[in-house]
Amino acid sequence: MYCVALGAVIALADGCAFPDFSSVPSVHAGTFTLIHVAGVEDVGATADHPLGRLARLADLRGGRDRLHGVLTSVSGGFLTAPGPDGANNISLLNGIGVEVATPSDRELTLTESEFHSRIQGATFVPISNNLTDAAGHQFKDMTRGIVMPIKTEKGLVDVGYVGLMRSTSPPAWATYTDPIEAAKKDVPETRKWAQFIVALTNFSIADDQALIAAVPGIDLVLGSNRGEAWAITRESGTTPIAKADVNARTAVVAIITITEGNARPEIVLRIEPLDKPPVK
């Protein structure tokens, strides 16, 4: 079984392929875990500790993936690691098993050739719903969004991701469109395939709140924030917002339970520091 890519014009990354799930009950229910980190430019890696704080992310995953009820995502910074070879952090994320990432305006500081050469090194799926090439066409090495099946104790749940960013001055090689307008178009399309939709964002909490007010159908917003981490559950029946601190200092962990029928998913959030051993 494979993922569904919105508007895809590329062969999906290796990490999007699945083993044979023909024996898994086709029940769209169960409990699964989403793990999210942000701004992974400087993860504290050294010669003695090559994974830096990402070692704690690997601990949180515990070797689990979508076959074992876990999906891992990144907002921003994954292409702009320090040094001449920005591919370094991509290789780290590949090794850990990250499944999906969306760029921020930091990635737009790269040249066009740097951007594409680095993104093509990812085995995870890079997505953006409001970043296109200079002519307004989808980049051939990214998708507008992705729907990934995940195995639960009861069956399969299809989790949809949209990736959104803000940029005040995109480079000449890229076109930036309004994220809310992009989401209004793509979230309903994603909902055709997914039982649960996550918006990966790279903007302020106020912008996140404006997004979910304007675009019905988003179940959870996962983003980035410099210097602080937030898990805002808000009032009952509304979309939670959670933000991880940049440079992978914290991770958002979301435990999602979906029941059969039309009941709203149950979402339990916590912030996990990545500079110390995670709570078991």
SS (H, E, C) the chain: CECEECCCCCCCCHHHECCCCCCCCCCCCEEEEEEEEECCCCCCCCCCCCCCCHHHHHHHHCCCCHHHCEEEEEECCCCCCCCCCCHHHHHHHHHHCCCEEECCHHHHHCCHHHHHHHHCCCCCEEECCCEEECCCCCCCCCECEEEEEEECCCCEEEEEEEEEECCCCCCCCEEECCHHHHHHHHHHHHHCCCCEEEEEEECCHHHHHHHHHHCCCCCEEEEEECCCCEEECCCCCCCCEEEEECCCCEEEEEEEEECCCCCCCEEEEEEEECCCCCCC
pLDDT at 165 over 70: yes
pLDDT at 1 over 60: no
What's the predicted TM-score (pTM) here? 0.89
pLDDT at 69 over 60: yes
Look at residue 49 in the predicted model and tell me its pLDDT.
Answer: 80
Where are the chain's structural domains?
A: 4-273
pLDDT bucket at 11, cuts 50 / 70 / 90:
very low
Look at residue 129 in the predicted model and tell me its pLDDT.
Answer: 95
Domain 4-273 carries which CATH code?
3.60.21.10
Average pLDDT over residues 220-246: 77
Q: Which of 22-31, 48-57, 157-166, 261-270 has the lowest mean pLDDT?
A: 22-31
